[in-house]
Structure 1
Amino acid sequence: MSTTPAPSKPLSSENIVAQKYDRCLADLLVKSGIGFSVGVVASVILFKRRAWPIALSTGFGAGAAYADCDRSFNPARIPGVRILPAESSTPESK
């Protein structure tokens, strides 16, 4: 039994922004959670149960998520990317 895919309609700008925010929030939760986990392990094994490794690694995770989200919303901040001006459609007179 074959099914034909439904024709895709263009997404509205509100939906695109909402999807980006959803991805950013999910990324923040995952990376902060991983940072928290690494901090707990490092705190228990290496630093005699101090609190600062937990806070530091959670902050690193949140910072990495923030940087990824910033690049998602502003692609001009990706290293090595140049924004070229659009070519004009009017012919130049000589």
Structure 2
Amino acid sequence: MASTSRSEDELGHKWDRCLSDTGIKIASGLGLGIVFSVVFFRRRPWPVAFGAGVGLGMGYANCQNDFQRPFRLGGKLVKVSSGS
């Protein structure tokens, strides 16, 4: 019996990866924004917002790329040499 993957399952896995990746990137941006705000910018709020925005933008771009990419099947490249 062949192992088949339903399209709903593949879409669900893509959404899970998308949301977790975006959440990690937003949290990382917030963390870096807080560190930069405290250390370099005398507790100004804009580095925190900037870091969260950059994280959200990176997560959105990764999700967009993941959803536009078709499902890839495994294979290998075979070189053909001329027998002359």
Q: TM-score, normalised by structure 2?
A: 0.78
Equivalent position of 2:10 in the other structure: 16
Aligned length in residues: 70
Query: Which stretches in structure 1 are left out of the alignment for 5+ residues?
Result: 1-6, 77-94
Alignment partner of 1:57 out of 35, 51, 55:
51
1:73 Cα deviation from its structure 2 partner:
0.5
The AA in structure 2 aligned to 1:39 is G
Q: If each structure's helix is expressed as a fraction of its own residues, which one has the higher value? A: 2
How many percent identity over aligned positions?
A: 39
Q: How does 1:1-94 map to 2 (within 5 A)?
A: 9-75=3-69
Q: TM-score, normalised by structure 1?
A: 0.70
Q: What is the aligned-residue RMSD (CA, Å)?
A: 1.5
The structure that has the greater radius of gyration is: 1
